[in-house]
Structure 1
């Protein structure tokens, strides 16, 4: 009798390892999707432009040609395009050329450590247009906490 009871006790842990019933208990959670984000990096000036999530997959960054840069007085620049519409043009320069960039009709957006970023926004960008708040937070300088205002 003791042997039979002992064997029953040994069999109990084996019964606890049964498969869970089909349904939500036995299914794995769906894989997490990465957060969609639009980013463009300017190595020369030392900043990253972070666009709103609605730009992800819709907007392309096209570096400006040297003729366009010479006309604006900037050292580097990029235009953000959705289809055939130019949404925004960013120009960066050093402090010495800042006046030439702003005199060409561009608005100074941010300044940090001897570099400036100026913008020329399109008037009719539609749903992809940036608000003033989004534009103010879009430029993230190297070594500065995101969301910190730098002028």
Structure 2
């Protein structure tokens, strides 16, 4: 899967991507499980640290889709929209704050020579590759 496959749908949409997600984004369904496409494909090959979650949640999914759609409507390339979506949404919300706190507590910021791991989501994004064991969001009965 790639953002390019869904770019026409996203760029034509003024959707806020609240729940439920558009059926066109459904990749697979089995029993109570549903997997949806969301633009988490960008790979930061120059990163110095990789942080891996389990799967993007509904908040991250909504933010990624909304940012990708916005970028595409503004005329950005698919690659730029994909990168912007991932940077905007990765570990977004309270999860990001908790992650930064834990990474700072164990001294990751010191190893990277930055003030705080909060910089990994702002001024020092080039150091981070964020990913998930399950790249695309998987929901159980529509819930995280």
**TM range, smaller chain:** under 0.3
TM, length-normalised to structure 2: 0.23
**In terms of Rg, which structure is larger?**
1
**Could you say which structure has the higher helix fraction?**
2
**Could you say which structure has the higher strand fraction?**
1
TM, length-normalised to structure 1: 0.23
